[in-house]
Structures are given as structure tokens and as C-alpha cells.
Amino acid sequence: MQPMNQPNQPTPYLGVLHRYGHLLDLPAHTRPVTLLEGDTRLIPVPRLAEELGGDFELYVKFEGLNPTGSFKDRGMTAAVSEALGRGAKAVICASTGNTAASAAAYAARSGLKAVVLIPQGKVAAGKLAGAVAYGAQVVQIEGSFDDALAMVVEISNKHPIALVNSINPYRIEGQKTAAFEICDTLGSAPDWLCLPVGNAGNITAYWAGFRQYERLHGTGLPHILGVQAAGSAPLVLGHPVEHPETVATAIRIGKPARGEQALQAAEESGGRIIAVSDEEILAMQKRLAGEGIWVEPASAAGLAGLAHEIAAGIFKPQGKRIVAVCTGHGLKDPDIITRAMPLPEALPPRLEVLEEVILG
């Protein structure tokens, strides 16, 4: 008998713990909970590179393509899997929004209760809606993210509720997978990695991930450019910011929990941490959207920092391979676009009117 023609059976993708779990320091009791996060695209943006004034390779690692629309899902799959395996019944976090949505989704997936604390009035609509949709108990704190974080640390020390902020080491373990993916895609580490910095978990994890891959596979190490918003730039100023402010609400953080590690990552890698203005962040958000990549404001900060340094003549990109991490999807924060948007013109349903308007 002739064998039947089989359609191509691609290897199934089963999430970052399945793909990279052997490289992550997770306890044996870990019970994987996944939404098939990770495996995000590295999108080449040659036109943007040219506009920025250089002959160099530029890629966007678009982390907004994760299941809940941000990079947080990589660390959250690890943290919630560990909490579930240890027998936790609930998880808790403080959040500027994305961590909340991610914790809520992974808790829902594993049947755990999620409690999320957010700073009052400063969380983008898509993030709050996500946390609510996934069934989390959402509490607003009349204070900043930093106040909320101090509270969840205290309450998780007192009660059997698993803390899933990036203070939790398993968040960093899972988050390292983004660095592994970049090396696997490019065949080596890029020359530079630029990314936004808020509570500093992501930059800490990237650096740990790149170092681990260098030890294992000799993939080299990137220089890291971490970028804060000027109104929330404790790592640039060298002291905490009591009342952080920025349009990039995701990184409106005045006392980064892993600030020391962020500074160390920047220094060890031969990179730096800088600040850019809200105007520069929004301008870069617009330029990226012009490439068809809509990211939330905070996510444009890394590239805004790169653009700033090139324009100032501090950074010479020629011949380099650069990856910019865009941490969250634009859909998270639609208000930032619609707020300044004139309502689209309303027309009667007649072809000649439409022709007049679009063809002039």
C-alpha cells in the first residue's frame, strides 16, 4: 500500500519553559502553566535605521506579541508555575499594569486567585481591562507603584500568598529566555541591546541570559543601553524619585527593586543607562507605528534612547547589529493615541462625497 500523503507536521511550540526549561534554575516542584508565550519576532527595520542616520542592522524584538501583550509573560509562566507546584492558592503583585494583566492571566490558567495592586488613576486602559477580564481582584492604591510594591512585599511575608513581582527570582529565570531567543535567531548576541528600564527586572534578566548563553555557546555579549523616562529616572539621577511622572506609565517607577543589578548590567556590559524626554518617547512611538509596529509609549523608550545618542553624536551605530526590545503592545494604551486625535470626519453614505474627500 502507498503511504498516505501527510501534511507537514511542524514541531509544536509549547512555550518558554518547554523550550528552555533545562537552562532555567527552577525547583523540581514546578508545575508548568503556559499560554505558549515567547517565540516573539525579531523584526528588521532597515528604513528606521537609515532615518536614524546610519548604515547598521536594526531589529525590533516585539514582545507585545506575547499572550497578554507584554514581555511579562515569560517570567510569569515561571513564577506562577513554581507557585502552583509549591501549593500556593493565591498570587499577588504590585503593577503599573502589564505585570497585573500577566499575573491575572497565568493565575486564571492555573486556577489560582490573583490580587493586583495598581497606582490609582495611572494605569493604561488595556492593562486594567485585562486584569479584570482574567478575573483578578484589582485594588487601587492612593499612592505610587513603589508604595504598592512595599505593601505586597510585606503582605506576602505575613500570609501564604506568592509574590510574583520581579523580586521573585523565578520571574528573572523565565525572562532570560528572551536573550536566548535573540541569540538563537541571530546566531550570536547583537552588538547592542536597547530597552526601557522601570523596576529593572527585564534588564537584569537579559544580562543574566546573555551571560549564560555566552558560557554555554560562546555567543558573545552585547553592550546594554537601558533607557528611563526623564521624569522617572532614579538610575540616571543616582537617587530615588519620590513623585515619578511620565507619559510612559509602565515605567513610572521611582525606586526600582533591581536598580543595583541594572546599573551593574549596564557597567559590566560596557553600556549605560540614560534618560529621554516624554516628547522623544512619543515621537519614537509614532515612528515605529510608521513601520507598522504599534507599541505602548514605554516600549518605545529603548529606541528613543538610541535615537537620542545617535543624534547627539555620542553613539556611532555604523556597521553594528542592534536589537531594540519593544516590551508591550500599543493596544494596551489606546488613550494615548485617541486623546490627541480629532474624530474622523463623518460623511453621508454617497460615493461622490467620498471621492471628493479622498481624491481631492
Binding residues for ligand AN7, rule: CB under 6 A, are 70, 95-99, 166, 196-203, 250-251, 296, 298-299, 327-328
| 103: nearest Cα among 41, 158, 43, 148 | 148
Do 297 and 239 contact (CB within 8 A), yes or no? no
Which residue's CB is nearer to ligand AN7, number 24 or number 203?
Answer: 203
Which residue's CB is nearer to ligand AN7, number 57 or number 100?
Answer: 100
Which residue's CB is nearer to ligand AN7, number 56 or number 281?
Answer: 281
Phi, psi of 321 (to 5 degrees): -110, 120
Rounded distance, CA 138 to CA 152, Å? 13
Which residue's CB is nearer to ligand AN7, number 55 or number 120?
Answer: 120
Place of cell 474622523: 344
Do 88 and 113 contact (CB within 8 A), yes or no? no
Rounded distance, CA 281 to CA 304, Å? 6
Which residue's CB is nearer to ligand AN7, number 73 or number 296?
Answer: 296
Which residue's CB is nearer to ligand AN7, number 296 or number 309?
Answer: 296
Which amino acid would we find at residue 126? G
25 Cβ neighbours under 8 A, 6+ residues apart: 169, 173
Place of cell 477580564: 133
Number of alpha carbons in the 13 Å side-chain half-sphere of residue 184: 14
Do 226 and 237 contact (CB within 8 A), yes or no? no
Shortest distance, position 237 Cβ to ligand AN7, whole Å:
16
Instruction: Quickly list DSSP for 9-53.
Output: -PPPP--HHHHHGGGS---TT------------EEE-HHHHHHTT
Do 284 and 311 contact (CB within 8 A), yes or no? no
Which residue's CB is nearer to ligand AN7, number 102 or number 188?
Answer: 102
Shortest distance, position 26 Cβ to ligand AN7, whole Å:
19
Shortest distance, position 311 Cβ to ligand AN7, whole Å:
22
Which residue's CB is nearer to ligand AN7, number 112 or number 200?
Answer: 200
Shortest distance, position 99 Cβ to ligand AN7, whole Å:
3
Rounded distance, CA 23 to CA 206, Å? 14
Shortest distance, position 47 Cβ to ligand AN7, whole Å:
24
Do 64 and 96 contact (CB within 8 A), yes or no? no
Shortest distance, position 107 Cβ to ligand AN7, whole Å:
15
